Amino acid sequence: MKIAALIVAAGRGSRLNADIPKQYIPLNGPCALHRSINIFLSVSRVKAVACVIHPADLSRYNEVVEQLASPALHAPVIGGDTRGASVFAGLNALSAFSPDAVLIHDAARPFMPMVVINGVIDALKDTAGACAALPVVDALWADENGKAGHSVARDGLWRAQTPQGFHFDAILAAYETSDGSAADDVAVARAAGIEVSFVPGSEAGYKITTADDLARALRDTA
């Protein structure tokens, strides 16, 4: 299987609200985007890596990839206003490479272990879609007027992470018919009837979303 990785990095990080988008903030050295690219370039079965970026970040991006020169790293793709639009732009650009499968990953998850990525690749032998995920372990409660209402069974519930991998032609076709409202790539795939299996994710693969997450990432790299 010819495998490509698509790293989406065109977001603005509004919840973190730092001076620059979170994926470019140095983490005691390389930023999250640099670390994410590096991991996928290190997976030998990944033959192409493409990043989706915001046009305002082009010079930042060029600085990040300066030390990452690799024939597998493709030119950056300009993203859109939503994550889905950014993924779709990236898939369209990657179609020139004719991959058999694509691993879609958030640049804001810089510490995803290689074993998880390899697990997603392995699962794509058997299903058209595979998602890194962790079972929900906390008790879940539905809010009723700001107080605990009724509990919600957590059995069979998963927290989706990335990478989310798919057979390329199937996910491209799914995005072509998607209305843009999907929460993630699995949602786009499921809406198009693509079967998606769960692959063990990792707590280490958390997404930097809030200031607390950034503080954790700075501790993890100290």
Contacts with ligand CTP, residue ranges (CB under 6 A): 8-15, 23, 52, 79-83, 86, 106-108, 207, 209
Among residues 46 and 106, whose Cβ is nearest to ligand CTP?
A: 106
CA distances from 85 to 6, 150, 166, 210 (A): 13, 36, 17, 23
The residue number with the shortest CB distance to Mg ion is: 11
- Closest of 17, 54, 52 to residue 36, by C-alpha: 52
Tokens 């950034």, residue located: 214
Closest separation between CB of residue 68 and Mg ion, Å? 24
Contact at 8 Å (CB) between 180 and 85? yes
Closest separation between CB of residue 125 and ligand CTP, Å? 27
The alpha carbons of the chain give a radius of gyration, in whole angstroms, of 17
Kindly identify the residues of this chain, within the stretch 6-65, that bind Mg ion according to CB under 5 A. Answer: 11
Partner that binds at residue 9, options ligand CTP, Mg ion, none, CB closer than 5 to 8 Å by kind: ligand CTP
CA pair distance 18, 22, nearest whole angstrom: 7
Among residues 11 and 79, whose Cβ is nearest to Mg ion?
A: 11
Closest separation between CB of residue 186 and ligand CTP, Å? 14
Partner that binds at residue 124, options ligand CTP, Mg ion, none, CB closer than 5 to 8 Å by kind: none
Partner that binds at residue 190, options ligand CTP, Mg ion, none, CB closer than 5 to 8 Å by kind: none
Per rule CB under 5 A, count of chain residues that contact Mg ion: 1
CA angle 145, 151, 154 (to 5 degrees): 130
Closest separation between CB of residue 89 and Mg ion, Å? 16
DSSP assigned state of 184: S
50, 55, 57, 59 alpha-carbon torsion, rounded to 10°: 90
Among residues 19 and 144, whose Cβ is nearest to Mg ion?
A: 19
Residues lying near Mg ion in the complex (CB under 5 A): 11
